[in-house]
Structure 1
Amino acid sequence: MNTSTLDRLHFQVKQNRWLRDFALFNRIVLAMGFLPSGYVKIIGERFTDLSVCHPMGHYLEAFHRTGFYYTFVGVMQITAACLLLIPRTATLGAIIYFPIILNICILTFAVRFVGSWITAPLMVLANLYLLCWDYDKIKFILPFNKQTIY
């Protein structure tokens, strides 16, 4: 599929009211997913009461003990969530959100954490939907049909 076909398809999809409302729904729900967890990290509280005997509990305990890195991730979660809620900055919010939620999803399966086997992949998919929704804004950084200038 060449870029002009993709551009036409994207334009047609953007005209659909239901899909536009679904994008708005995804932005709100994803923001709601990161606001409380980011806040907990910023104030320095433990994210969960899972026992350190559980692989996820052990990881989260070690993560909490990293100090400023734990706080940094919380700040980035809050930043991504807030940016998603502002229409003008939603694309940047989705871009920042993606590596964080992808990491959470991979971690969920790596430590066999049954508690988010459904939610983490769904959040990744919702974020991917938003990135595709904003294709027209980010296509310039994608490696499709780049012309080389000599």
Structure 2
Amino acid sequence: MLQRLKQKIWLQIFIIYTRYIIGSAFVFASIVKIRGGRFTAESGASNPIDSSWHLFETLYQSGLYWKFLGIAQLISGVLLMTQRYAKLGAIVNLPIIANVFAITISYYFAFTPVITGLMLLANIMLIAWDWNTLKVLINQKPISDLKPRLENDVVWQILGLLLFTIIVISNFFANTKSILVIFLTVLVTGLTGLIIGFRKRKPYK
């Protein structure tokens, strides 16, 4: 049944853009850590020790570990956005997003656990999508897809690289007023790639 679903063009596009969304979110969040900046607007040192703001401040003050978290998020995000290495990206990202979800349910984050929970489920879905080849990780014989998938087209790899470049460059100039511009730029780029990619879908029908 899963093999038949994998041949649906709309579902292939859904998987491709799920990778873009998760990957983009982690790349965006990683830059501030790698640059050594706070994830929050101000210090949380004065907040209660069992609060989320104090946790972020502790992680920030760790220095090297804070940057390590950023690098790990960057690597997993880039791998997902490349499409070519998205299988590896889903595996690398699983423990990261699971850890993020655990943090958001351990401290008060309002509705954030809903978002992180959906991201965790989406990551599990990506692993299930490629399970036929990923099962080699548990010493089972991998099964190759009978037909080529849309994600194998170079247009999606180029789009992933373009989105990554936009997010990284814009992150260095991000402020309250420019966030909307960055979002719209990424949205327009993604929609343009969708149109181009969808027009080239015929060989994958």
TM-score normalized with structure 1 length: 0.84
Shift of 1:144: 6.7
1:31, CA displacement in angstroms?
A: 1.1
The match for 2:59 is 63
Cα displacement (A) at 1:37: 0.9
Return the alpha-carbon distance in structure 2 between the equivalents of residues 105 and 139 of structure 1. Answer: 25
SS at match of 2:26: helix
Q: Say which of 66, 84, 89 aligns to 2:85.
A: 89
CA gap 1:49/1:115 in 2 versus in 1, 3 angstroms: farther
Structure 1 position 132 matched with structure 2 position 128: yes
Say if 2:25 is the partner of 1:29: no
1:38 aligns with 2:30: yes
Q: CA deviation at 1:143?
A: 6.8
Deviation at 1:87, TM superposition (A): 1.9
Q: Distance in 1 between matches of 2:28 and 2:52?
A: 19
Q: Give 1:83's aligned amino acid.
A: L
The answer on whether the counterparts of 1:83 and 1:93 sit within 8 Å (CA) in structure 2 is: yes
Residue 114 of structure 1: aligned partner: 110
Which residue of structure 2 lines up, in the alignment, with residue 17 of structure 1? 9
- Aligned structure 1 segments of 4 or more residues deviating by more than 6 angstroms: none
Gaps of 5+ in 2: 142-205
Report how far residue 115 of structure 1 moved.
4.7
| Identical-pair percentage | 32
C-alpha displacement at 1:135, in angstroms?
0.6
Which of 100, 104, 110 aligns to 1:104? It is 100
Q: Equivalents in 2 of 1:133, 1:101: separation in Å? A: 18
Query: Given the alignment of the two structures, is residue 78 of structure 1 paired with residue 74 of structure 2, yes or no?
Result: yes
Structure 2 residue identity aligned to 1:140: V
